[in-house]
Each structure stands twice: as structure tokens, then as C-alpha cells.
Amino acid sequence: MNSAHSPRGDHAPAAVTRVSDTEWQAVADGLVVGRGDASRRPDGRLFVSVDAWQETVFDRLADAMRADLPEPLHTVADEADTEAVSAWRRAGFTAARREWVHLVPTDPQVTGLARTRPPEGVVILPAGRAEEGPLRELEHVVRAEVEAGAGWPAMPAQVLPRPAGALVADPSKYAVARQGGRYVGLIRVSPPRRPRIGLLAVRAELHRRGIARALLAHALEELHRGGTATAWAEAAESNGAALALLEGIHARRTGSILELVRH
């Protein structure tokens, strides 16, 4: 697909062209000065992003994408980046939800997790030890429970839904809790250089048993042993349980991410 959008005004610095179903380019004097991208998540939400240094280029890319794409459109922005948030607001987007970003200490003496152990009958398998088949089964169960409950819009922006049958991205990043012959909880930490707790989940019927806390204690202790002092984690403003868990281990709130939508 290739459609062009004329810039507004006689002295506009760039013209925008749709170069594929999911990509737009802004060109001035033969040079690409901005890009726009769109991606539809498996849950149906359509997310857009714009990479441009100049305000006018951003606006023209946003205008072109709005003209070409069906609404609603979603995007995410660091709330501290006031220029980016303002740019999306100019394009007609409004804030729909907020995620708090936390810096999490790994030292068990600081988190208070030094004596945390799994409940009786539950064993924690370190990252890289889980079998891919049972891990995939557990992840599909967890994701189905999310869809039946709060839904993906309530999950952190970095935790993406995947189509049914999709493979776990990298089993080596998951530690799991095993009870009897099945996996009942998981935690994903990635990447090693800038560790981030990407997903912490337990089967719904086993909530409030201490399994999630034990998984978190295990993952943080492993990072601490490896010489990593802190990790990152996000929690939706509406997720009181996750926020309480993070605050309880002395995680420090460092910022926030906004999801914005245009209807």
C-alpha cells in the first residue's frame, strides 16, 4: 500500500507517505525525517507510535495515521515526557489508564523476603529448568484467566497478549512454581542487563496462598546473588494487589506510563 498525504500549508517541511499497511514515512528534501508505525494486538487493540524530532512532523504523521486507520487508536507514553504526551493530546488522544513504574531492590534483607518460602507442597524451579510443554500450558491458562477477568487493557503495557497456540517467547526467562505434577505459577525476568519483572502470575484457584510472593522472593534473590541491585516492575494504577505487593517490599515509585486512546 502506498498513499500520500499533502502537508498543511505552503511551507511545510515534510510530506507523509504510507509505505506499507503498518508504516508511514515523513520525507523532507529527500530525507526521512519521521516514521509512524501501527500494530494490532491479538486482543484487537490497535496501537500506534510516532518517531519524529520536529513537532510539525509528528503532527503530520499523526494526522496521516488517523486518516488511514480505524478508531479506536491506542498509544503509550512516559508521563514525564510532557512533549510526547502533549503531541498525542494535540492529535485527539486522551489518557485512559496509568501504570506506575517501580525500582525494586533485590537484597532480601531490604525487601523483607529473606525468610519467605513456598507454601507446603510447592517447589520453585529456577529459570531455565521449566519444561516447555507444561510452561506453555500454564501460560495459556493464566492468559485465559486474564481475558475472563480484568482483561488485557488492565495489564501492564509491556505484557502483551498472544494468539492461542503461540509459543512462550523464551522459556529460559521463566521461573515456575510446581505443585504435584503441574505448574501453578510463573515469573518472568528480562533482560539480564536491565532486569524487569515482566509477568508474575498464579492460577486463579491458588491465589492468596503465598505462591506469588515466593516466586518474587526467588527471582529477586537470584538477581541479588548475580550482583544485580535493582530490577524494574510496572503495575496498573487500578491494580491494588500488585501495588501493595511492591510497596510491601520497599519498591520505589520512579515514574508512570500513560496509555492514551482516541475514539
Query: Is-contact 41 72, C-beta < 8 A?
Result: no
State whether 41 and 168 are in the same domain. no
Is 229 part of a structural domain of the chain? yes
Is 216 part of a structural domain of the chain? yes
Looking at 72-81, 191-200, 243-252, which range is the least confident one?
Answer: 191-200
State whether 81 and 141 are in the same domain. no
pLDDT score at 159: 44
**Which tens digit of pLDDT belongs to each residue from 208-260?**
899 999 999 999 999 999 999 999 999 989 888 889 999 999 999 999 999 99
pLDDT score at 149: 59
196: which residues sit within 8 A by CB, 6+ positions away? 158, 189, 190, 231, 232, 233
> Is residue 178 pLDDT above 60, yes or no?
yes
Q: Which three cell numbers stand for residue 236?
A: 496498573
Q: Please state, as a whole number, how many other Cβ atoms lie within 10 Å of the Cβ of residue 56.
A: 19
pLDDT score at 219: 95
pLDDT band at 192 (very low <50, low <70, confident <90, very high): low
**Which tens digit of pLDDT belongs to each residue from 32-43?**
999 999 998 767
161: which residues sit within 8 A by CB, 6+ positions away? 41, 42, 43, 143, 146, 147, 152
pLDDT score at 164: 46
Say which residue, 144 or 99, is predicted with more confidence: 99
Is 262 part of a structural domain of the chain? no
Is 18 part of a structural domain of the chain? yes
State whether 83 and 132 are in the same domain. no
pLDDT score at 10: 43
> Is residue 161 pLDDT above 90, yes or no?
no
Supply the DSSP symbol for 38: E
pLDDT band at 144 (very low <50, low <70, confident <90, very high): confident
Q: What is the CATH number of the domain that holds 109?
A: 3.40.630.30
State whether 152 and 164 are in the same domain. yes
* Host domain of residue 26: 3-97
Do strands 31-40 and 23-28 pair parallel, antiparallel, or not at all (unpaired)?
A: antiparallel
pLDDT band at 199 (very low <50, low <70, confident <90, very high): confident
pLDDT band at 96 (very low <50, low <70, confident <90, very high): very high
State whether 84 and 148 are in the same domain. no
Report how far residue 171's alpha carbon sits from residue 207's, in angstroms, rounded to the nearest whole number.
Answer: 23
Q: Which three cell numbers stand for residue 261?
A: 486512546
Last residue of a domain, one of 97, 113, 148: 97
Say which residue, 167 or 65, is predicted with more confidence: 65
Last residue of a domain, one of 76, 97, 118: 97
| For range 5-19, the mean pLDDT | 67
Report how far residue 160's alpha carbon sits from residue 50's, in angstroms, rounded to the nearest whole number.
Answer: 20
pLDDT band at 56 (very low <50, low <70, confident <90, very high): very high
Q: In the chain, how many domains are there?
A: 2
pLDDT score at 6: 45
As a whole-number percent, the residues of the chain with pLDDT over 70 amount to: 86
Q: What does the mean pLDDT of the chain come to?
A: 86
Q: Give this prediction's pTM.
A: 0.79
pLDDT score at 169: 55
| For range 165-182, the mean pLDDT | 78
